[in-house]
Structure formats: C-alpha cells, structure tokens
Structure 1
Amino acid sequence: MAIAAATKPRERMNLAFAANRQFWLLMINLVVIGLIGYFRPEAFLSWTNFKAILTLMSYDLLLAVAMTVVLIVRGLDLSVGSVLALTSVVLAMLLKDGTPVYLALILSLGVALLCGAINSVLIVKVGLLPFLVTLAMMTAARGVATVLTTGQYVSFPYAARWFSKFAREEIRIPIGDMVYGFPNMLLITLAVTGLFGLLLWRWAPMRGFFYLGESPEAAKLSGLKVDRIAISAYVLAAAFVWVAAVLMTSANKIGYANYGIGAELRALAAAVIGGASLSGGAGSVLGTFLGVLLLALIGNGFVLLNGDPNWQQATVGAVLILAVAIDAIRRARGGDA
C-alpha cells in the first residue's frame, strides 16, 4: 500500500526513538529502585513490598493501556476512571440482586462498551473534540454511579464465593528455597496486556491504529476504514476499563462510585511517559508498563519515606509535564526529518 511505503522511514525513526525511550525509562526505574532501596532497604527490598507494588499497579496498567490505544489514533479518553466506577457499581448491584455471575459480567461489559461507543460516535462521526466528549462522559458516568448508590458501597454477600476471592487468590511458585505467591489479578493483567502488546506490535490489523495516528489523510487514501479503526480503538479501550473494574470489584468485594478518581491523570502520564504521543501515531505496551511502574515506585517511595501525599500528586503532575515536553521535542525533530 502507498501508506506503507510513505511511512517506513518515519516508522523506523519512531521505533528507534521508542526503543531508546524505553531503555532510558528502564534506567530511570532502576535508579529509583536503587535510591529507595538505599534509604529503606528492609522495607523496600522484600518480595512482600514488590508484590504489593505490582498488584496495586494492575488497575493503573489496564487504564494506561486503554489510554495508550486512543492516544495512538490521535484521541484522548478522560473518562476511564469514571467508566471504571460505573462498571463496578453496575456489576456489584447485579450480583447483589442475585444475577448469575457470568450474566452480570456480560451486562457490565455492555455498560463499559456502551460508554466507549458513545465516546467514539460523538468524536468520530459527529466531529466533537475528544477532550470535551470524554470530559462530559467522565462527569456523566461518575454522576450516574453516584446516583445509583447514593455514594455508598455496594456489597454482594450472596454472590458466588469464587468471584469474591478469585482476584486476590494466589498461584504459589517455588523458586529456589522460597515460595512466591502471585495474585490472580496481577497474572491476569500481565497476560491481557502482554497479549495485546504482542498483537499491537505484530498483527497487521492493529498496525492500522498507527497508520491512522500518523496521517489520517494518507490512511484514508490507502483504503483504510479510518472511522471504523478510530471507533474500535475507543471500544477496545473500554474493554480494558471493564477488565480493571472486574478485578477491582472482586478484589475489594464491593462496587463504589468513587473508584478511579484521578486515574485518568495517572493513565495519561504513564502512557505519555512510555512513549505515546499526544499527536498520535506512537505508543507501546512495554513503554506504558514502564511508565506505570515508575509512578508506582514513586508512590511506594513516598509511603516508605513518610512523604507528604500532596507532594506525591505534585510529582505525578511534574512527571507528566516533563513527558509532554519530551513528546513536543520528539514531534519537532520528527517534523524536521
């Protein structure tokens, strides 16, 4: 196709830059690990602490991957945290009312996909700005979740017991003289994101996301169904949000309208830190994982070093500003190439 020939040099440059970005991001993560380990070696350098970091970042990783998908196609989704809350509330309410678990999962998936479909139609077909549409969805989804629950927790004590504990159950693996427990939520998150990362990297239909983000006009001229690709990106992002909502609801045994507050900022920061571009056409699951890990390590360091939580939020904001600045420099250099 014409677009393939037109984008090969630029794609090679982007892939090289992404690899370089991921290398330096890995180095930064190792430096942060070294610094925290130096000041609090006993508390930090333990499997219990590392397991807690990886487990708690599972939700943020799924939301950050969702954000990465829409950023690749020149989109934005500020509603990921609110849709997570709404999906969790609907799932918990269905389980509380005695709905079979599998049916409740399907219906809650429908809610998440509906939110993603509404976002995509308004953005792609109507032509509204992604920022405005997803900001409205963020407010609406959180509002509906709050109205449904009046701001209270929704428990489901009579639901199938396996669902109430499967996310936190562990697969224990002996390594040497030690036995390490890996929570199901962590393994499921890594499996889902890892499989998607492989498809995004190697599967031809997924490459359409990058072609669309790189140049919508060239993608359309080459015969790609750009509207369908953009809509599928938002719907796919909603599916990742649903997985996060299911794991969070199972792990905490409740649905809650305040789940995911501030998650959109962390997801955006992690995705951009990992190499996703606000102008589209770039992003990777590996880079996003490293970005989420960096933010999780910073948060863990604040806890272990008794840092002020307010400064933790400020640090996330500062990291996001730095990542956006790096992205702007990357775009400027790309434009000159």
Structure 2
Amino acid sequence: MEVTALCIRLDLGFPQVVPNRQQHFKHEPIIVSCEGLAGLNGWRVMRKIKESPIICASNWQKSTGPCEISTAYPHADSGEYWCEIGGKKSNTINITVTAGSVILESPVLPVVEGKNMTLRCRNKKTFNLTAKFYKDDNFMGSSSTGEMSFHNLSKSNAGYYKCSISDFGESSASWVTVTAHEELQKSPLVSLLLFIGVTVGLVAVLLLVGLLRCKKHQTIITATGSPTSPSSVESSSFPQTVYQQAEPAATQAQPAATQAQPAATQAQPAATQAIYAFITRPMRDTGPGLPSCSATQVPTAATNPKEDCYYQTVNYVNV
C-alpha cells in the first residue's frame, strides 16, 4: 500500500541548485539542497519525474539533506524539485537535462520586476559563440558573445526562452518567471524574523490597551467612592440611594475678591449643612420590617432621610 504524505505549501523559499541554472548537460553532476531554508535543517528533497513524485534518494529513512546527482540523465532527472519537512513544502523549481550540445543558461528562481536578467547560450565545450535567441518561438535577435541582457524587467518578459548556435543545434525551451513580489527573493529567515517582530508588536499593543482600560476602570471606581460635592448632586434629576445620614462637611469657600473690597476682607471658609428634598420610598413595596419613606420635601437640615430611601435633590446651606 502506498502512503502519501500530506504537505502544506508555504512561502518558505526555493531549493538551491548547483550549477545555478535550469538546463544541464547529460552526465553533469547536479546538487539540489534546502538546508538552512527558513532556518531549518533536515529537509527531504522531492522530485516529480514523469508525473510521479518520488524522493531524491534510494532510501526514505536516509533521504534528508542535499540531493546529489553525480551523473544526470534526461529521462531520470528532468522534472520538478521541491523540499519537505514536518508537513511543510517549499516552492517548486524545474530542472532540464538535455542530451544535446546546446543549453540556455536561465535563472532558476523567479526574477523580480524592475531587475535585470542575462541569458547565455553555450555549447558543452565552447563559450562565446554567436547565438540566436527566441521567446515563445519568436526570434528576438543575435549576439556575438552568446549573451542577451534584459533591463528593467516587467511581466511581459515572462515566457519560454531558447537559443541556437550554428553547427551545434538548438537548446530546449525554459520558462522564465517574472514576479512583482520581491519577498520571494528574500531570505526565508528574514521573513520569519519579520513575522515574529510583527506578532510581538501586536501583542504589545494589545497589552498596552488592556492596561489603559484597567487604569481607567480603577479611576472611575475611585471617583465613585469619593465624597460627593454639592455641584455634582444638585443637578441630579434621578433618584439616588442614601445609605447613611449626611454629616456636616467643612468646605472652603473660594475668595470673593471684588474691586470694592481689599484683599484683607475676603470671605472666610464657612461650614455647610445638607438639606435633602423629595425623599421617596424604595423601589419595592413596603411591608412589615421594611423602611417607609415619605414622598414630601424635607424642609430643614435637621431632618435627615432614612436608610434605604431615595432622594432627588440635595441642597447645601451655610450654618
């Protein structure tokens, strides 16, 4: 029974290829590695040859580490390559092994928009030969050095490229990808560190907001439990509960300085007495053992409301 591992593809980068090109000559050595990708070691190199995904090693248990192909063959080693570790899957690259005498050296990884790219057409033993270049089977031009450069790339530069050298033949076609996301070219470790930094920043902001809300809540509780000033209760139009009798409070009157009076004759602090008005019964029916509150106005400061009664107005007078 064949067991297929379930892997999730993440933007963890691309495998590294040595030599760094898509096309390779027959019998050349090739190394595909993902060691250090995303800051991890122990990747398993996978490849799809003729629509069949297999490991790049004869032994599954010992298949971690670089995939070293000592002698490449067209039908055995041409295909897609990627890396897997712990259910994670890297991006895929393409490798073409040709039995011909001409190859096109093109980038293995996607090229970023706005960057430059150089294609090289070469024979296995001879360099710097005049070559013709094609894109999507359309002739682009000739080069006496066997190279063609592209500047300030855009999406329109993506496509299948190939080349030919007189008396030697034509190369295979390779797809060149042009992407607008420069993050694909960055080190996966840098992306990982950036992700961690953003996460820590968000957590810090949430903690700060929580502390501010907690501090605000404590301030409200402190303010509620503090003595009530005349100015804060005189304007209240809602019934409030009186739990204890009011005691005289000593308040300090503000100096009333006028043009007609000298500074030495300013008003002295005076004591105040609270007068409660419009005392009503509690918000429950009266009965045996329950307090009974009148619904009339308290005329003097000597009369204080009963406990568990409600009042609507409090006035303060000097005594």
Q: So what's the TM-score if we normalise by structure 2?
A: 0.20
Question: Which one has the largest radius of gyration?
Answer: 2
Q: So what's the TM-score if we normalise by structure 1?
A: 0.20
Q: Which has the higher strand share?
A: 2
